[in-house]
Structures are given as structure tokens and as C-alpha cells.
């Protein structure tokens, strides 16, 4: 399996594939070290630790308190027998309570403060200043020279626009030559 571009020097196809891997791994290293990836990893670790704390709080404090008021010594061990099987309702209640507590903490201590900060530093777009067209009374931008509704001229055109209009409206060289030839021929004929 050797192919060679120079006679007498064997090369392997696989070496070309391995050679390009280093540059791809360099990009992967940059991706791993990038700030967002590190922040995500820290968030996952802290979230897992927080989940453990909340689950212990629910299992060891909240469900026993519910059990005291409900007449069951331990709410988490509540089981309903059904057709020879045991439905662990207490574990489901523990999981639901853990979910509600975690969602409440995330909402009240992460989402709401971040939304307040974003609202505080968000710049509101300023409306463009407008004026009224004297012809049709529509609202147009302050710097407009013509009304977009009725086409009325509100201000003289800029110097660049006026020069472009003169250039477009000016007669071409051929038209001037034809007019001059006509005038000359009329004068020679004695008509003028």
C-alpha cells in the first residue's frame, strides 16, 4: 500500500491523514479552553452539587414534615399496592418536590436577577425625528428632501444630486452637433 510521487521514496496513505490531525486537535484545544466551555463545565458541576443538596433537603426534611401532617411517619416510603406490584408514590412525590424547588431557586435567584440587569443596561431605540409634509400632512423623516407619500419637494436637492440631474438633463454631443449643423445650414440658405 505505498504510493510515491518521487521514485524510490515510499510514502503511506495513512501518514497524510495523521499529519492533518494535529491542526484539528489544535482547534479542539482552543474550543475546550474557550471561556464559554469552562463556564458551562463549572455550571454543570455546581448544578449537580446543588441538585444533591435539594434532594437531601426534600428527602430528609420536607417529606417527613408532610408525613407528620398527613399521618404517615415517612412520606418517601409511601407505597400503593396494585395487582401484586408496589407503586412507589413517595419517591415520585420527592422527585416532584425536588424539581419544583430547583426550578424556583433557578427562577428567583438566576433568571429574575439576570433579566433585571439586562433591562437596566438595555438601551431603548430612539425614534427618528420626524416632520410633517406641508402638502399631504404625512409624517416623514426630519432630513427628507421629498415627501415619500406625495412626492412634494420640501428642500432643494443636495449639490451632488443637482450635479447628477444637470448631467443627465444636458444634451449629448451628437444632439449639439445636429443643432449646430441645422442652424448653419439655415444661415447658409438665407433663412435667418
DSSP string, 53-66: HHHHHIIIIIHHHH
pLDDT at 10: 52
Q: How far apart are CA 6 and CA 8, in angstroms?
A: 6
All structural domains of the chain? 18-121 (1.10.1200.120), 129-171 (no CATH)
pLDDT at 2: 47
Least confident of 8-17, 110-119, 121-130: 8-17
Name, of 36-40, 130-134, 163-167, the range with top average pLDDT.
Answer: 130-134
pLDDT at 23: 61
pLDDT at 6 over 70: no
User: What Å distances lie between residue 147 and 83, 128, 139, 161, CA to CA?
Assistant: 81, 16, 9, 16
Joined grid coordinates for residue 1: 500500500
Span 138-165, average pLDDT: 80
* Residue 115 backbone dihedrals phi, psi, to 5 degrees: -65, -40
Q: How far apart are CA 50 and CA 169, in angstroms?
A: 77
pLDDT at 177 over 80: no
The mean predicted confidence, pLDDT, of the chain is: 76
104 vs 177, more confident: 104
Joined grid coordinates for residue 37: 466551555
pLDDT at 111 over 80: yes
Query: Is 154 within 8 Å of 144 (Cβ atoms)?
Result: yes
**pLDDT classification of 29: cutoffs 50, 70, 90:** confident
CA neighbor of 143 nearest in space, from 127, 128, 124, 121: 128
pLDDT at 119 over 80: yes
DSSP classification of residue 79: -
H-state helical runs in the chain: 13-33, 35-57, 63-70, 89-106, 112-121, 159-169, 173-189
How many CA atoms lie less than 13 Å away from 93 in the CB half-sphere? 17
> How do residues 51-97 score in pLDDT, each as one tens digit?
888 888 877 887 777 777 766 666 767 888 889 898 888 888 888 88
pLDDT at 186: 81
Give the count of beta carbons closer than 10 Å to the beta carbon of residue 140. Answer: 19
Query: Is 131 within 8 Å of 140 (Cβ atoms)?
Result: yes
> How do residues 156-171 score in pLDDT, each as one tens digit?
777 887 777 777 777 6
Q: Is 111 helix (H, G, I), strand (E, B) or coil?
A: helix
121 vs 25, more confident: 121
Amino acid at each position: 500500500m505505498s504510493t510515491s510521487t518521487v521514485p524510490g521514496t515510499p510514502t503511506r496513505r495513512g501518514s497524510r491523514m495523521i499529519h492533518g490531525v494535529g491542526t484539528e486537535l489544535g482547534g479542539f484545544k482552543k474550543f475546550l479552553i474557550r471561556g464559554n466551555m469552562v463556564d458551562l463545565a463549572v455550571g454543570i458541576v455546581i448544578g449537580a452539587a446543588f441538585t444533591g443538596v435539594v434532594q437531601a433537603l426534600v428527602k430528609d426534611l420536607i417529606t417527613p414534615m408532610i408525613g407528620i401532617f398527613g399521618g404517615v411517619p415517612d412520606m418517601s416510603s409511601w407505597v400503593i399496592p396494585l395487582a401484586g406490584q408496589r407503586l412507589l408514590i413517595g419517591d415520585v412525590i420527592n422527585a416532584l418536590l425536588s424539581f419544583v424547588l430547583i426550578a424556583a431557586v433557578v427562577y428567583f435567584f438566576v433568571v429574575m436577577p439576570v433579566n433585571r440587569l439586562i433591562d437596566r443596561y438595555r438601551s431603548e431605540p430612539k425614534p427618528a425625528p420626524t416632520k410633517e409634509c406641508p402638502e399631504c400632512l404625512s409624517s416623514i423623516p426630519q432630513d427628507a428632501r421629498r415627501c415619500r407619500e406625495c412626492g412634494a419637494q420640501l428642500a432643494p436637492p443636495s449639490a451632488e444630486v443637482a450635479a447628477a440631474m444637470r448631467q443627465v438633463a444636458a444634451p449629448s454631443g451628437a444632439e449639439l452637433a445636429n443643432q449646430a449643423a441645422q442652424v448653419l445650414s439655415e444661415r447658409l440658405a438665407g433663412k435667418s
